[in-house]
Amino acid sequence: MIWVTVAMLMALLALSIPIAAALAALGLSLDYLYSWMPLRLALGEMSWGVSTDFILFAIPLFVLLGELLLRSGIAERMYAAMSQWLSWLPGGLMHSNIGTCTLFAAVSGSSVATAATIGTVAVGEIDRHGYNERLFLGTIAAGGTLGILIPPSIVMIVYGALTETSIPQLYLAGIIPGLVLAALFMVTVIVACMARPAWGGDKIAVSWGERWRTLPDLVPPLLIFTVVIGSIYTGLATPTESAALGVLMAMALAAWKRRLSWSMLRESCEGTMRTTGMIMLILIAATFLSFAVTSVGIGNQVTELITESGLTPIQTMWMIVALYLVLGMFMESLSMMIATVPIITPVVINMGYDPVWFGVLMMLLLETALVTPPVGLNLFIVQGVRPRGQIRDVMIGSLPFVVTLLAMIVLLMLVPDLALWLPRIAG
Amino acid sequence: MDRILDLAHRLARYGAWAGGALVILAAFVIGLDIVVRKLFVLAFGGAAELSGYVLAISSSWALALALLDRAHIRIDSLYVHLPVRACAALDVLGLMVMLGFAALLTWHGWNVFHQSFNLGSRAVTAIATPLAYPQFLWLVGLAYFALVTLLLLLRACHALVTGDIATVQRIAGSRTGQQDLEEELESLRRRAEPAEDRP
């Protein structure tokens, strides 16, 4: 039954059937083939239930928040300020790329939006300062992935909703690994530029006067981060409510920058709803599939299979990590998570792992998936913001950071407290 | 046929605007709810429930737009290596499976609405919303999605049979990363322009 299911899923996806329809078709097939009562009768109530889940209302809110920020010109100013503060390091502006991505990640819930925004602002600087183009592009693709690890994070919300894990806990757990990973990315750049000084480009003129003058440009993103994350931990708001506060804040900032207009709002709404419709349809299908998988007993079979294999939990975990790394080369990250998490997470929890820790590990695996060829959304995004050149450059430039991501995954496996310490002392 | 699809596209876009407006409105209501709760220690409540309906209604209205803009994600690892004719056949197959899912959702959505309507079901909350109202609006979105999928499938089938592969690609083809980007870039460029003349 497991193998039939896996084969069907692979076939449906290889045929390039839209993910939502593929998951639904798989769920229905399981229903017809293996279930003794028609599970599809529950489809209506289930769809209504998923569609009205208040937790998931955070999805359109965060997408909208991102759209508003993108359209209000806040990112360009952040980048200019960051370059004043970070470009003295070996590797110059490459550190500003990572720094701005980190800060943008703290207001945006999406890796793609982070890479696209920072990429657009940054690519013009490559020729101007004679950087190694590939490495420079790699910092944007990799830095952008921080979007889903550092809270707020749309993907964490979806993970939390699918596995019934606390979203505030997940957010807290993502902060330290996010900062450590950003630091490791910077170390990677420093090491590369120490080995090959020519890669680092020429020095950028900075002055303390300029530094202090640009500092206020870092305030808007920090303000939104404080409102969104602060309101959760002071007990003022739930994660969804905090997203609503973030949207109101972003609208106020856009109005203050005089960028708020009807056409800007209309574009934001259109973009937001398109993404939301796409995600919600996948979620409805995935919920039905996960119901079918549990009802016909595949979940138990997977658990049995793993128990009988005689692997220790830690060995199993390495297997799971390896599986995701391979899958991640070929699948888009969000759909990869939605398709697999309902089956894998119960097994993982059964083995005694903390779902919050696994959530953070999952984010790291998805980040890796975003920058591993041939299918890596962030690679495509960065390639897209370049005026010329081949995608190969972006892929090669991202490789050092894939190694860094793998190191971070190993680090999190060995030191679970990187993720779990903050939620523990806070809660 | 193409004119009907254009009309459907425009209607879907209006639906998305309305959905987006509802989301913004819900954000304001939630903000108000928090303020009232904090300042007056008053449970005004209901914001969460209403936002749930907003999510259901706005996302169901957006389904058709996502389809017409080819935003429903497909895995194209294999697809991009196939000859264009095979791709076009897969595009049509994808639409068929999508139609099956859309029709099924609409049918079961109808059952949900029909039952609430007949029984006069109300939400078990302070507002006691008659569920048939939000469910009706949700059902409209689902039905529109199924209808648009059907239209698109008919058009794509016609194009496939007459050998008009370019049209199949245009209305139902998988978006490669490249295409996405060009649009993203275009909109970023448009946004960046007013920034140029800033001091």
ipTM reported for the complex, 2 dp? 0.89
Q: Residue A204 is encoded by which pair of tokens?
A: 């950028």
Q: Do B27 and A244 touch (CB under 8 A)?
A: yes
CA–CA distance, A100 with A86 (Å, rounded to integer) = 10
Q: Do B20 and A48 touch (CB under 8 A)?
A: no
Residue A220 has pLDDT above 80, yes or no: yes
Nearest to A57 among B13, B17, B55 (CB): B55
Q: Do B52 and A52 touch (CB under 8 A)?
A: yes
**Stretch 408-427 of chain A: residues touching chain B, C-beta under 8 Å:** none
Q: Minimal CA–CA distance to A265: which of A63, A117, A71, A57?
A: A71
Helix A377-385 with B177-196: angle, nearest 10 deg: 40
Which of A24-28, A87-91, B163-167 is the most confident on average?
A24-28
Terminal-residue alpha carbon distance, chain B: 50
Q: Do B181 and A383 touch (CB under 8 A)?
A: yes
Name which of B60, B73, B180 to mutate to probe chain A: the one with the most chain A Cβ atoms within 10 A of its Cβ. B73
CA–CA distance, A30 with A128 (Å, rounded to integer) = 58
CA–CA distance, A227 with A28 (Å, rounded to integer) = 43
Q: Cβ of A235: how many Cβ atoms within 10 Å?
A: 7
Helix (H, G, I), strand (E, B) or coil at A112: helix
Tell me the average pLDDT of chain A. Answer: 89
Answer left, alpha or beta for residue A29, where phi above 0 means left and psi between -120 and 50 means alpha: alpha
Q: Which residue has the higher pLDDT, A35 or A98?
A: A98
Tell how far CA A63 is from the center of its chain: 13
Task: Give the helix/strand (H/E) hosting A20.
Answer: helix A19-34
| b/e burial code for range A64-101 (CB count within 10 A of at least 16 → b) | bbbbbbbbbbbbbbbbebbbbbbbebebbbbbbbbbbb
Nearest C-alpha of chain B: how many angstroms from A386?
A: 10
Nearest C-alpha of chain A: how many angstroms from B191?
A: 6
Nearest C-alpha of chain A: how many angstroms from B177?
A: 6
Name which of B13, B41, B44, B74 to mutate to probe chain A: the one with the most chain A Cβ atoms within 10 A of its Cβ. B74
Nearest to B90 among A16, A25, A244 (CB): A16
Q: Do B135 and A56 touch (CB under 8 A)?
A: no
Q: Minimal CA–CA distance to A413: which of A344, A365, A361, A341?
A: A361
CA–CA distance, B170 with B9 (Å, rounded to integer) = 14
pLDDT tens-digit series, residues A308-327: 888 888 999 999 999 899 88
Give residue B196's pLDDT band: very low, low, confident or very high (50, 70, 90). very low
Report yes or no: A86 and A99 within 8 Å, Cβ to Cβ.
yes
Contact A230/B at CB under 8 A: no
Tell how far CA A121 is from the center of its chain: 20
Contacts of A272 in chain B (CB under 8 A): 20, 23
Q: Do A274 and B93 touch (CB under 8 A)?
A: no
CA–CA distance, A96 with A74 (Å, rounded to integer) = 15
Residue A333 has pLDDT above 90, yes or no: no
Contacts of B54 in chain A (CB under 8 A): 57
pTM score of the predicted model: 0.86
pLDDT of residue B176: 59
Average pLDDT (A258-282) is 90
Nearest to B195 among A70, A76, A273 (CB): A76
CA distances A103 to A97, A178, A402, B21, Å, are 10, 11, 21, 28
CA–CA distance, B127 with A209 (Å, rounded to integer) = 57
Percent of chain A predicted with pLDDT > 70: 100
Helix (H, G, I), strand (E, B) or coil at B130: strand
Nearest to A273 among B16, B26, B75 (CB): B16
CA–CA distance, B195 with A256 (Å, rounded to integer) = 15
Nearest to A14 among B23, B72, B78 (CB): B78
Q: Minimal CA–CA distance to A181: which of A370, A393, A424, A368?
A: A368
Q: Do B17 and A269 touch (CB under 8 A)?
A: yes
Task: Give the helix/strand (H/E) hosting B92.
Answer: helix B84-119
Report yes or no: A47 and B135 within 8 Å, Cβ to Cβ.
no
Contacts of A281 in chain B (CB under 8 A): 59, 63, 66, 72
Residue B197 has pLDDT above 50, yes or no: no
Nearest to A53 among B52, B78, B187 (CB): B52
Q: Is the dihedral of CA B79, B84, B85, B90 positive or negative?
A: positive
pLDDT of residue A96: 93
pLDDT tens-digit series, residues B85-141: 888 999 999 999 999 999 999 999 999 999 999 998 888 787 888 999 999 999 999
